[in-house]
Amino acid sequence: FFFENKGNMGQLVVFVLIQCFMLLHAKRPNPPRWPSSVRVFSPTDTDIEQVVNTAYRTNGGHVPPDNGQFSDARYAFLFKPGTYSADVPVGYYTQVVGLGDSPDDVVFTGPKGVHSEEGNYRFVVGALNSFWRSAENFKSVSTYPWFPGYNGMLWAVSQAAPLRRVHVQTSLLLFQYTFGDAAGFASGGFMANSRVDGPVFSGSQQQWMTRNCQVGSWTGAVWNMVF
């Protein structure tokens, strides 16, 4: 049957291809109709912390420890160029992205700014489970005193939690100390195409990979610091 009707079949194939082409190139809304889990913020928005903290209550925090680790919620927070005074905690399955041409086009001036705390305040767990999040393409001038002697941007994470194209004007802390005998454990992380004007404190971070970055200095190493 196929060979006897190959002319008709050829016409059908052409028709289907044309329809597919038209669907792919149909006029789409600009900006796109994002789902509720995606927000594009402007510096004039007044609900940034409300939106971000609502997501963090689902996919972050410490009640229970490592809250949101197996959540099915996903969030993306995009920031248009400008200056933001909001503090933006980053929990599980959350992406924070600046939309400028340069990291310096989006600046976070809040005390904590964009940050990721360890998911468990017990030091033997710490940030060992703090996975599945990312932050990129912005400038941080955060000066929050996370623990005595350590101020700056906190990114206490382990695997699958990269920092990319970030300009940290102060210090960058890759671990967290809350209480007890030791800092919270942390194991594995990645930073690329970034600049840290001050020191990077890796502390209890067991291994970390840094690629194509400029840092003021680097203090601390447990096992494997790769540059």
Confidence of residue 82 (pLDDT cuts 50, 70, 90): very high
Confidence (pLDDT) at 1: 33
- C-alpha distances in angstroms, 38 versus 52, 59, 86, 165? 11, 14, 17, 21
Confidence (pLDDT) at 160: 95
Confidence (pLDDT) at 3: 37
Mean pLDDT lowest among 19-23, 184-188, 199-203, 206-210: 19-23
The phi and psi torsions of 75 (rounded to 5 degrees) equal -135, 145
On the question of pLDDT at 4 being above 50, the answer is no
On the question of pLDDT at 96 being above 50, the answer is yes
Q: What angle do CA 107, 108, 109 make, to 5 degrees?
A: 110
Confidence (pLDDT) at 140: 98
How does strand 94-98 pair with strand 38-41? unpaired
The pLDDT tens digits of the residues spanning 164-191 come to: 999 999 999 999 999 888 999 999 899 9
On the question of pLDDT at 9 being above 70, the answer is no
Mean pLDDT for the stretch of residues 48-77: 97
Confidence (pLDDT) at 10: 61
| Residue with the two structure tokens 């005390």 | 111
On the question of pLDDT at 53 being above 50, the answer is yes
Q: What is the pTM of this model?
A: 0.87
Structure tokens at 206: 């067991």
Can you tell me the distance from the alpha carbon of 218 to that of 221, in angstroms, rounded to the nearest whole number? 9
User: Cis peptide leading into 111, omega within 30 of 0?
Assistant: no
Confidence (pLDDT) at 7: 54
Beta bridge pairs of residue 206? none
Q: Do 52 and 95 contact (CB within 8 A), yes or no? A: no
Confidence (pLDDT) at 5: 47
The pLDDT tens digits of the residues spanning 13-36 come to: 667 777 776 666 666 777 788 899
Mean pLDDT for the stretch of residues 83-108: 98
Half-sphere exposure of 159 (CA within 13 A, CB side): 0
